[in-house]
Structure 1
Amino acid sequence: MGKILGAAIVSHHPGLMQCEEFRVLQGAGSDSDLISGYACLRERIKAAKPDAILIFDSHWFTTGYHLVDGGEKFEGSYISDEMPWYLHGVPYSYLGCPDLAVQVEAVSRERKGYVRNIRHPELGKQYATINLVKHLHLELSKTPVLTVSSCQNCEWPQFLQSGEDIGEAIRRSDLNVVLLASGALSHKFNGIDWRPNHPRIFHESNVSRPENIESDKAAIELMRQGRHDEILARWDDDYRRKPWEAFGAHYLQMLGAMGGATCRAKGEPLSAYENARGTGNIHVWFDVSETASQGNSGAAGQLAAA
């Protein structure tokens, strides 16, 4: 029987893929704390000794289905269609997790869900996955990676349901897995002519709006307490309206896999809360106990009906 060993919200912002010299210069002499946070996350993952890493990718937008990329191996040179002037020529070569992808689709179909396995060698990758593969040294460790999409024509309880199906598939497998929700919290960009409020480019005061900082920090505190139910209770009135990156798909799917509103896994920040072109970013690690990672069948449906 497989299980979830741990989970994390992880920032992937593209500035972290630049060379260190460029980042230091852009930060007026102060680098992003998210870089050292990756080192802390690597230690958590190393200690957990997972058989596979599952990444909820907030940049892989799909329509009609939540998809898992069930390829056996991913290899190529990454270029960002969003920022090709500096994100280009990034080589990658890492293992997939095809057996788990097959299991995820089977479980989702059984539960009348909408998660499907896709295998297309030409399918492009997103830096929300590639950045984590690089910074967490998943190529070197040869840890298999399964990437999950964010289906854009979903309501938020349907992201929880997607996560529930994935969590059940993990439990039915023989794999121990770490979940990574790759994305920001509030995701309102500063304008193209924006000028920093603070000389340290990554400083939290450069997040787009004061109310977004307040909201993000309130969510981080609830994560510290393990009160994911309170975050969900505020979703429509707060976090959906800010909104979070990919409307929170990465967090909601991760949470669904860990039990949804019943999950009490407490979050440990592994970095400072930071700005990235106006968006709110942080790494938060969740130690998932056996009880916290148990499935909560029907929780998403109950929330949707509430």
Structure 2
Amino acid sequence: MGQIVGSAIVSHHPGLMQCEEFRRLQGAGEDSDLIAGYARLRERIAAAKPDVVMIFDSHWFTTGYHLVDGGARYSGTYISDEMPWYLHGVPFTYRGHPRLARALETASRARQGYVRVIDHPDLGRHYATVNLVKHLRLELDDTPVVTVSSCQNCRWEQFLQSGEDIGEGIRASGLRVVLLASGALSHKFNGIDWKPNHPRIFHESNVSSPENIESDKGAIALMAEGRHDLILERWDAEYRRKPWEAFGAHYLQMLGAMGGADCRAKGESLSAYENARGTGNIHIWFSA
């Protein structure tokens, strides 16, 4: 039987793809701790020995279906249409895992779900996937990667349901899988003319509002206790209103695969909580 052997919320923000010299300029002489956090996360992934890494991509917006990339291999040169002045010319080449992708669709169809496979050579990449492939060195390790979309016409419960379908597909596949929820927590950008509150741009006081900082830290504390049920209880009243990146699709799908409200996996912070253009970012690992 297949199993989930680890999972994580992982920041992918594009500033992390800039050179270290520039990151240190923004960090008042210090690098972002999210960079060191990638090294810590690489250690956890290596110890878990996955056959496949699955990325819930909070930038791949789809309509009508939760799509799963079913290609055998991806290669090209990435340029961001959001920030092409510095996130460009990124070469990538990594393996997919068509058998796992098909297993997810089969499980979802059996449950009357909406997870479907897409395999098209011209389908574009998104930096929520590419940045993790690069920073976690998945292409160097030749680790297969399967990406899952964020379907934008869904209620939050339906993200949980798609995650449940995905969990069933993983169990049917016979594979060891690590899940990565690629995205931020609160996701309100600072204005274009914003002035930093702290000279270290990454510093948490530069997140968009004190209320978002308080809410993010509250969620992080609940994750540390494994109380995902309490996060779900507060979703409509709090986390949906902030809101989280992709309205939390990346976290909710990951959590659905892990058992939803019954999941008690405790989160270990692998980085500091940091700002990125006003959004709240952190790496959090959940052991199987």
Once the two structures are TM-superposed, the CA of residue 25 in structure 1 deviates from its matched residue by: 1.2
TM-score (norm 1): 0.94
* AA of the residue aligned to 2:78: Y
Alignment of 1:226-237 (within 5 A): 226-237=226-237
SS of equivalent residue, structure 2 residue 68 = strand
* AA of the residue aligned to 1:259: G
Q: For residues 114 and 209 of structure 1, what CA distance do their matches in structure 2 show?
A: 36
Is 1:72 paired with 2:93? no
Alignment of 1:177-216 (within 5 A): 177-216=177-216
SS of equivalent residue, structure 1 residue 275 = strand
Equivalent residue, structure 2, for 1:281: 281
Alignment of 1:1-306 (within 5 A): 1-288=1-288
Once the two structures are TM-superposed, the CA of residue 54 in structure 1 deviates from its matched residue by: 0.3
* AA of the residue aligned to 1:83: M
* AA of the residue aligned to 1:45: I
Structure 2 unaligned residues grouped into runs of 5+: none
SS of equivalent residue, structure 1 residue 140 = coil
How many residue pairs are counted as aligned between the two chains? 288
Q: For residues 4 and 102 of structure 2, what CA distance do their matches in structure 1 show?
A: 18
Percent identity between the two aligned chains: 80
SS of equivalent residue, structure 1 residue 56 = strand
Equivalent residue, structure 2, for 1:303: none
Q: For residues 102 and 286 of structure 2, what CA distance do their matches in structure 1 show?
A: 26
TM-superposition CA deviations, 1:61-108 (whole Å, max 9, x none): 000100000000000000000001111100000000100011111111
* AA of the residue aligned to 2:114: Y
Once the two structures are TM-superposed, the CA of residue 26 in structure 1 deviates from its matched residue by: 1.8
Q: For residues 226 and 35 of structure 2, what CA distance do their matches in structure 1 show?
A: 25
Q: For residues 137 and 228 of structure 2, what CA distance do their matches in structure 1 show?
A: 29
TM-score (norm 2): 0.99
Once the two structures are TM-superposed, the CA of residue 30 in structure 1 deviates from its matched residue by: 1.5
Once the two structures are TM-superposed, the CA of residue 227 in structure 1 deviates from its matched residue by: 0.1
Once the two structures are TM-superposed, the CA of residue 243 in structure 1 deviates from its matched residue by: 0.1
* AA of the residue aligned to 2:224: R
TM-superposition CA deviations, 1:122-151 (whole Å, max 9, x none): 111000000000010000110000000000
Runs of 4+ more than 3 Å apart: none
Report which stretch shifted further, 21-30 or 141-150: 21-30
* AA of the residue aligned to 1:144: P
Provide the aligned C-alpha RMSD in A.
0.4
Report which stretch shifted further, 176-185 or 23-32: 23-32
Q: For residues 130 and 194 of structure 1, what CA distance do their matches in structure 2 show?
A: 28
Structure 1 unaligned residues grouped into runs of 5+: 289-306
* AA of the residue aligned to 1:94: Y
Q: For residues 286 and 103 of structure 2, what CA distance do their matches in structure 1 show?
A: 24
Q: For residues 40 and 239 of structure 1, what CA distance do their matches in structure 2 show?
A: 27
Once the two structures are TM-superposed, the CA of residue 283 in structure 1 deviates from its matched residue by: 0.2
Q: For residues 53 and 126 of structure 2, what CA distance do their matches in structure 1 show?
A: 16
Q: For residues 45 and 243 of structure 2, what CA distance do their matches in structure 1 show?
A: 29
SS of equivalent residue, structure 1 residue 150 = strand
* AA of the residue aligned to 2:68: V
TM-superposition CA deviations, 1:189-225 (whole Å, max 9, x none): 0000011000000000000000000000000000000
Once the two structures are TM-superposed, the CA of residue 284 in structure 1 deviates from its matched residue by: 0.2
